[in-house]
Structure 1
């Protein structure tokens, strides 16, 4: 603001203008200035049209005027001594108006000439504040918009390129589950700034995997170590006389043995390395499960019905795990079905549906079905509450979907397969 107020910028432009015009002076054969080059002559009319506001002249070494604008005599001061013929800026008064001028020495053929330009303060303010500055402002605005668009495009491309590894890392992290704890996030191609974060995350995964493995090994080891003592206790009890106390003890031992067996199955189902994937026919395994549980159904006076809606369904799966999954679902249905009812097993092209006609569950219980050690009040046996949990673990390991739905009456489980 200070520069604009005291016309410093305008006076500097006047000095630059006189220096630029000095190179375009035309001379006659005697080396005397007679005019300007064409590009300057095109604007010299300005000095005649605004005669009291601006003018130019060329002086010799003695200060004599050899060339000037048509009305120059009325602008330049009569006291020539007041003008210093040296390169630089100067000021003088004309008719109460402050005039600003600039001198530029020019050497031609060994002679020195002095080119002077002058302009009034108000003329310079008009040119700078009302003409030049708006044009400059418009130019700056246009340049800023172009620069902003260019910078925005550059920033978008740069950020997209820079954040692409982070997107890949996020996708890799989203696939990590208890069945793939051995997977680590890739470090190759990751920006240097993100490498410490990725390494720290991988170290956390290593600690998590170690803790999970220790827990699973402890569970499996404890269950395995309990099997032998329980078998010995059961054998000793069976040799005892047939009494009510003996029968109760045998019942408790059978309950504990079933819990131990379920814990072993859960430990195995939770560890993906225990699975051996081969091509299996789901319809044949479903038939084997129905045949295996037929005696149990007969004891409970429940009818089993197998419906094959497809001739065969070949999948990549662990045969033993699939057998256990279907067996647990069917056992659960039999144990909750009233005498005389039907438990149906329907094999479709993309799923297996197990349906019973028992008392079912309410909305709150539906959310608890797959939790460990949860048992329904209507259950007739003394199970460990791990059967459906094992089913869920096996389904997750195979990337299948197992969903329970309320029916009227009863409960339905749908096991949907991934057919990619």
Structure 2
């Protein structure tokens, strides 16, 4: 296996190569210039002479000049080597000091696992790329930890919601088996209970599949909101009549996206508006271009619960939600679908009582 060099060694080698090349070039040019100067000095007279004047160069002066020139060359080479060695050491020390925060970051990152994602790496405050890299990594681990916690809570809640009806089924069957004499009425009661539990399980599984669906949505298809909401209200007409709730739809509007998913989102919202309404109440649905406002006269939502109502398996009143057949995933599915359509959703109080859900498909309005 090929051994990998550290970034510090690579920077040092690169700097040494550059320094050596420059020193050699400088030494070579210095020696060449010195030779040229010496040659010119030996052949140029100290004063002007006439054509008939003879120039005499003594033999004693030539060796001394050659010796001095040789000494100069040797000194130049020695100085060049010293500069290369000294520069290499300085380069290594400087690279070590500069890359120390990066080495510390690498060691810290190697120790991060699923159990300490919430621990941020200390920022070195060097003001360079390592500083920004550390901050970016902390931001990434924070988001990753949040996603992991959401997934962990989702899995735990899903397991709990699935286990509850299964435990009820098991208990009922065991109690039924303990009886020696079973009447037709008891058989019918058991079958009815099993049917209700399996229906709840089926509903919960379908909600789980809908929530975890990550399919891409084609936002090029126009969806007529009035037709879609009229159809949804028609499907829920029986449930509304059972509580004598009046549902009205007004306005026109068109958005782009998947009509089936949008119908599922509005179906959940209108179902909740009916389910948690008072007998003889009202549900008013207003369409304003690319925005839909659903108002009800129901029991309302406490202010402290509003920030959490779109979380998975969150219920304002768990006992009431179970009694009415809620799974705790309806509003989470709604938010997931609306956000896939680049929209937004929020809730506010309806005066004198009830809730108002606002769904919009133009985020500029919300911002």
- TM-score with structure 2 setting the length: 0.48
Higher RCO by CA contacts (8 Å cutoff, separation 6 or greater): 2
Greater percentage in strand:
1
Which structure's residues are more often helix, by fraction?
A: 2
